[in-house]
Amino acid sequence: MIATSQPLASAAGLRVLQQGGTAVDAAVTAAAVLAVVEPSMTGIGGDLFALVFDPAAGRLHGLDACGRAPESATPEAFARRGLAEMPSTGVLSITVPGVVSGWDALLSRFGSITMAQALAPAIDCARHGYPVAQLMAHEWQECAARLAADRHAAATFLAGGVAPVMGEVVTNPRLAASLEHIARDGRDAFYRGPIAEAIAADMRARDGLLTAADLAAHTADWVDTISTTYRGVAVHEMPPSTQGVVALEMLNILEGFDIAALGHNSADTLHLLSEAKKIAFADRGAWLADRASMPDGALDLLLSKAYAADRREEIDPRRATSYRPGALPSGAAAARDFAGRDHGDTVYLTVADGRGMVVSFIQSLFGSFGAGLVAGETGIALHNRGAGFVLTPGHPNQVGPRKRPLHTLVPGMLMKDGRPWVSFGVMGGDNQAQAHAQVVMNLVDFGMQVQTAGDAARVRHFGTDLAVERGIGPAVRADLESRGHKLRDGRGQMGGYQAIMIDADTGVLLGGSDPRKDGLAIGW
């Protein structure tokens, strides 16, 4: 089974599975296709994270393919440029891209095909063309003016000076050539070879910070997951600098309420969800950063059931409230709150093969077409993940050399009795942790099947506003407003969910693909 946000990617991954490939083989193949056919969302100029369940070892592995800040990305470098906050786009928002290193690490450890075989469908799409899907066409057109401002981006993505329409067949020969380099020479083509040289030259011409040495120094890291239990179900996420801990803290807080008795998407349930989110995001703003830079004890505290119980007591069931970060046991003062940049251009996919391997996989450029720049003639849009840093002196997430930025990307997996039950994710910036909590509630508290759990109406915060989808009725909305929530229209703001549920008794795989996206869950 494979579920992705684009049918061409799902089809490519399915073919790999039918030919005997592993779940990792299919995931990398599909991700490479997505890097071509959903260019505003993802690409080889971005980052990726993955959870891989290895049935042979009976354990879950995490892959952190987050790129780090350039060596010269010191606070002083930004101060010299007169910047009071991190730029959200442009050359100074660019960090090392981690995608290619992630593909290489996955295939090297759990793959059965070569990089060239995995990239062949993507190269075919880029070289010979693919039809643009509906939602991608809409976003592409919305970004046309931004792309036109950079001559390399315009040459790559605006054929004839205009964005494509739905159904139009487009090619990307520049990106095809870069993918062909990687297919032939592996990860070194990107981090040490001609692509690295082209990216570094483009960055020098733009007075950027990223250098060839930064690219050459990059590594992807295998890491342990972080987890909690929610009503007996193990919920696994990636460790910092991702916001996986935020989803887990929300669930720990919510576990203390009888959510099933309160009702699905009732005003009581949505109020508690909203308040748990605000508490967890206050903590995110204070403490979440590169795990090497977080204060001692911060991660353990945020994952603690006892800490969640204490924070739960702050919630007024009848009134929306604002919250401050919690205090660390060491007495360290909480840094100034930081809400983050709520970019949401990401792809999520999940794959399960017939041997029991399961992959939960997420890949992103952060903003639409990343930093809005293409590196020379490479056809590669570079991400703006550096926008996740802050310039606040002393903050754990303050920008610094070779440091990972706060990351919104979070693949998830639910496990029962040490085996995968549901592999899932919800793309969409700050929405991801909020949506993870809602999906888990739908599955665990309300017993929904895998498709229904993603179809159900969701809510999310934008600043102080609570965005609400139209499936949440007027009586519930009125009740939420009476408690002090400021509501806004949530249409088109809830990201996109993909998931696979594994029936432990029968081995049957059940796929779910969000109707909010162009995607497809398919198995054989």
- Mean pLDDT across 54-78: 98
For residue 330, what pLDDT is reported?
60
Confidence band, pLDDT 50/70/90 cuts, at residue 412: very high
Encoded amino acid at 275, one letter: E
**130-131 and 2-4 as β-strands: parallel, antiparallel, unpaired?**
unpaired
Residue 354 placed within a domain: yes
**Are 232 and 248 contained in the same domain?**
yes
**Are 204 and 228 contained in the same domain?**
no
**Are 40 and 166 contained in the same domain?**
yes
**Are 291 and 366 contained in the same domain?**
no
3-state helix, strand, coil in the chain (%, to 5): 40, 20, 40
Is the pLDDT confidence value at 113 over 60?
A: yes
Question: Which structural domain range is residue 442 located in?
Answer: 223-340+410-522
Confidence band, pLDDT 50/70/90 cuts, at residue 328: confident
**Are 353 and 461 contained in the same domain?**
no
Residue 196 placed within a domain: yes
Confidence band, pLDDT 50/70/90 cuts, at residue 514: very high
Contact in structure between 34 and 6 (CB atoms under 8 Å): yes
Enclosing H/E stretch for 248: helix 244-254
**Are 441 and 485 contained in the same domain?**
yes
- Mean pLDDT across 115-143: 97
For residue 346, what pLDDT is reported?
85
| Model pTM score | 0.96
For residue 87, what pLDDT is reported?
97
Q: Which residues pair with 227 in a beta bridge?
A: 236
Is the pLDDT confidence value at 322 over 50?
A: yes
**Are 360 and 243 contained in the same domain?**
no
Looking at 64-68, 428-432, 468-472, which range is the least confident one? 428-432
Nearest to 107 by CA among 164, 169, 32, 37: 32
**358-366 and 345-352 as β-strands: parallel, antiparallel, unpaired?**
antiparallel
- Angle at Cα 52 formed by Cα 509 and Cα 66, nearest 5°? 130
% of the chain exceeding 90 in pLDDT: 95
For residue 340, what pLDDT is reported?
45
For residue 329, what pLDDT is reported?
63
Residue 68 placed within a domain: yes
22, 269, 346, 350: which is the annotated catalytic residue?
Answer: 346
Is the pLDDT confidence value at 344 over 60?
A: no
**Are 237 and 336 contained in the same domain?**
yes
- Mean pLDDT across 327-338: 53
- Mean pLDDT across 23-39: 98
For residue 474, what pLDDT is reported?
97
Tell me the CA end-to-end span of the chain in Å, nearest whole number.
7
Identify the CATH number of the domain in which residue 330 sits: 3.60.20.40
Residue 267 placed within a domain: yes
Three-class DSSP category at 394: coil
Separation of alpha carbons 476 and 462, rounded Å: 19
Residue 7 placed within a domain: yes
Looking at 43-52, 90-99, 222-231, 334-343, which range is the least confident one? 334-343
**Are 272 and 150 contained in the same domain?**
no
Which tokens hold the place of 272?
């508690």
For residue 336, what pLDDT is reported?
44
- Mean pLDDT across 464-488: 97
> For the chain, what is the mean pLDDT?
95
Is the pLDDT confidence value at 271 over 90?
A: yes
417, exposed or middle or buried, with CB in 10 Å at 0-12, 13-18, 19+?
exposed
Residue 70 placed within a domain: yes
Based on the residue annotation, tell me whether 346 is a catalytic residue of this protein.
yes
Phi-psi region of 115 (alpha: psi -120 to 50; beta: other; left: phi over 0): alpha
**Are 382 and 514 contained in the same domain?**
no
Contact in structure between 464 and 487 (CB atoms under 8 Å): no
**Are 352 and 448 contained in the same domain?**
no
Residue 206 placed within a domain: yes
Nearest to 436 by CA among 486, 495, 384, 378: 495
Number of domains present in the structure of the chain: 2
- Mean pLDDT across 53-81: 97
Dihedral angle of Cα 291, 293, 297, 303, to the nearest 10 degrees: -30
For residue 395, what pLDDT is reported?
95
Is the pLDDT confidence value at 164 over 60?
A: yes
Residue 336 placed within a domain: yes
Q: How many CA atoms lie within 13 A of 187 on its CB side?
A: 19
**Are 156 and 201 contained in the same domain?**
yes
